[in-house]
Each structure stands twice: as C-alpha cells, then as structure tokens.
C-alpha cells in the first residue's frame, strides 16, 4: 500500500529543507574561509603600519626629549 499524500509531501519537503541546509552550511564554510583570509590580510597591512610608525619614531621625529627605545614597544 502506498503512503498517504501528506506523508509523501512532508517527506519531499524534508528532503528539500535538508538540501538547503547543506547548501547553506557549504556557503558558511566558504565565508569562514574567506573571512580568515581577509583577517590575515588586514593583519599584514596593520603590521606594516605599526612597523612604519616605529621607523618614523626611531629616526628623529622627536626633538631633544626623545623617548627611550624601551617605551616604544
């Protein structure tokens, strides 16, 4: 005997929802991967800015009362 139409329809709907969930999970995984790369790139550029600031400070942009090198860290 075949299943009632309600059961068939609900089973199809369940499969559709599960498929969408799997697709969303794949998109989330890709977004996390992309975010990790963006964060790493930001850190690279931020590190260069910090390095540039250290270079500027250590090469005479202060007058006679220049801070010690230990206070720049």
pLDDT for residue 52 is more than 90? no
For residue 64, the number of C-alpha atoms closer than 13 Å in the C-beta half-sphere is: 0
Please list, residue by residue across 36-72, b when 16 or more beta carbons sit within 10 angstroms of its beta carbon and e when fewer do: eeeeeeeeeeeeeeeeeeeeeeeeeeeeeeeeeeeee
Q: Is residue 67 domain-resident?
A: no
pLDDT for residue 69 is more than 80? no
Q: Is residue 46 domain-resident?
A: yes
- What pLDDT shows up at residue 27? 98
Domain that includes residue 20, residue range: 5-56
- What pLDDT shows up at residue 20? 98
Residue 12's SS3 state is: helix
Q: Is residue 30 domain-resident?
A: yes
Split into its structural domains, the chain has a count of: 1
């Amino acid at each position: 005997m075949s299943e009632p139409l309600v059961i068939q329809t609900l089973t199809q709907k369940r499969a559709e929802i599960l498929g969408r969930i799997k697709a969303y999970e794949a998109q989330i995984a890709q977004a996390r991967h992309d975010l990790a790369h963006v964060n790493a790139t930001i850190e690279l550029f931020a590190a260069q800015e910090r390095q540039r600031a250290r270079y500027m400070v250590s090469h005479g942009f202060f007058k006679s009362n220049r801070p010690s090198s230990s206070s720049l860290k």
